[in-house]
Structure 1
Amino acid sequence: MAPRTLAFFVCSPHSRTGVTTAARLLTDYYLSRNVDVEGFDTDFREPLYAVFFPEATRIVDVSEIKGQISLFDRLLVADETPKIVDVWHRSYERLFATIAEIGFLEEARRRGVEPIVLFQTDVTESAANSALVLKTTWPDLMMSVIHNRGASPLGRDSLAILARYPASGKFVIPRLEAPIARALDDVNLSLSRFTREPPPEMSIVVRAALKAWLSPIFTQFQSFELRLELQSSEWLR
């Protein structure tokens, strides 16, 4: 099996859909397995993702050449270290326009880098249309959707809404009760360390609820990773 470097773009053209939460969870999934991660926060005004992982992330402004160089040159390094880009909604159009202009996806595959879009769903048609534009522009682009039931609930029409997205897979982030969700706002709470050793001062109720919430999310990421390995296996060709 040829080694691949995964480059994730966690994105949405809209705010408050759970982009940073998803990027954080994916990062902590890898860290919980002792896998180094390189992250990029494109919200240069209020870079929350970088606050959670100050030693593993860099802040980039993709509206400037310097920021584009800092981001894309690193993404093209095939070192088997997963790269995770938290795409701020205000950076969404500029980022994908730059990807098209420089031929990033084509160059990435030549270098053994696999770009993957994790698109955050919401109830608007424009979000699904934006996902469709990406898939139409790059038919071979690997895309999965993330449905964050707390940040962006889809309601009773969830199946119909999800069917609009041209994605090959789906992740679901369950909703958390408000008192439990507030625990996630603590920038000092490392979810990867939490899985091994929860903070002793944390309420036993919050601890149990976070474990029950986190476990199926990490299981989804693991299943996705295994599917990628099977798809690239030389034995299946």
Structure 2
Amino acid sequence: MRPTPVYIICSPRPLVGKTLAARLLSEFLLLKNGAVAAFDVNLKEPSLLEYLPDITETAEVDDTFGKMALMDRLIIPDGVAKVIDLGFHAFDEFFEMTEEIGFMKEAVRRNVAPVILFVADTDRVSARSYPVLQRQIPPTALVTVDNEYVVRGELPPAFAQGKMLRIAALPNFLRTYIDRLSFSFSDYLRHEKDSSTELHQWIRQNYLSFRELELSLILQGS
């Protein structure tokens, strides 16, 4: 039986496109598999719950009860992929907790495959936080997300050592369009007949990137 994937999308910085990545991944998994369980751990940032209320529930890591309630959901090998949109305010607390309880080892024991998608930035906070993840997360489970709309130019070399997933920059008018709470990436693919549009190709490219990531997990688990 294939491991149940758990995608944790995170950054120690606000406004780097983390929720956008979580939206794209959640919609891709829902389109492909017919089911996905998403968790929103945010304060004031644009919220995954606002965009995908039918598949998303809120979660907290501010107290022991909230932490254990979330971990209990993530460690279930039920075949339903999980997506966690981890707010920047909870970054340190969450990964301190996962290290303390041995989450990565327990996940492997239970046939669950955590994948950490770190949305990079060029600031000092990101530069300090990334090595913390490298010490805790196996290289095969740590993916750097290069959101080209936020990071203009090349990422610092330290982020380019492992797996990389790039999200190309969109023009501002298209960014405004996809930022609407009513917008759905998969619905756009279904209803936009012109597959040559910039947005259509952008969504397909991101979905293909997630498919390649998923295939790499399958190959690791085989």
TM-score of the pair, normalised by structure 1: 0.86
Moved over 6 A (4+): none
Match of 2:184 among 176, 183, 190: 190
Distance 1:189 1:109, change over 3 A: same
Hey, what's the Cα distance between the residues in 2 that align with 1:99 and 1:127? 19
Give the equivalent residue in structure 1 for 2:201: 212
C-alpha contact 2:140 2:163 (8 A) present in aligned 1 = no
Give the equivalent residue in structure 2 for 1:60: 59
C-alpha contact 1:135 1:166 (8 A) present in aligned 2 = no
Give the equivalent residue in structure 2 for 1:86: 85
SS in 1 for 2:164: strand
Give the drift of 1:45: 4.5
For the pair 1:5 / 2:4, whether they are aligned, the reply is: yes
Match of 2:165 among 160, 171, 176: 171
Give the drift of 1:167: 5.2
C-alpha contact 1:38 1:82 (8 A) present in aligned 2 = yes
Report the identity percentage.
30
Cα offsets for 1:60-87 (capped at 9, x unmatched): 1211223212211000010111111101
Larger radius of gyration: 1
For the pair 1:222 / 2:211, whether they are aligned, the reply is: yes
SS in 1 for 2:197: helix
Match of 1:153 among 137, 148, 151: 151
Give the equivalent residue in structure 2 for 1:14: 13
Higher mean displacement: 179-188 or 30-39: 30-39
Distance 1:172 1:140, change over 3 A: closer
* Structure 1: segments with no counterpart, 5+ residues: none
Higher mean displacement: 105-114 or 63-72: 63-72
Cα offsets for 1:1-39 (capped at 9, x unmatched): x31101111001111111101111101111222431101
For the pair 1:29 / 2:18, whether they are aligned, the reply is: no
Hey, what's the Cα distance between the residues in 1 that align with 2:112 and 2:128? 26
Cα offsets for 1:139-183 (capped at 9, x unmatched): 466101111111x2142xx15x1x302753111111111111111
Give the drift of 1:220: 0.8
Hey, what's the Cα distance between the residues in 1 that align with 2:168 and 2:136? 31
Please list, as runs of the form range in 1=range in 2, the aligned pairs for 1:88-127 lying within 5 A after superposition: 88-127=87-126
* Structure 2: segments with no counterpart, 5+ residues: none
TM-score of the pair, normalised by structure 2: 0.91
For the pair 1:143 / 2:137, whether they are aligned, the reply is: no
Paired letter, 2:174: I
Hey, what's the Cα distance between the residues in 2 that align with 1:228 and 1:177? 32
C-alpha contact 1:10 1:118 (8 A) present in aligned 2 = yes
Hey, what's the Cα distance between the residues in 2 that align with 1:7 and 1:67? 18
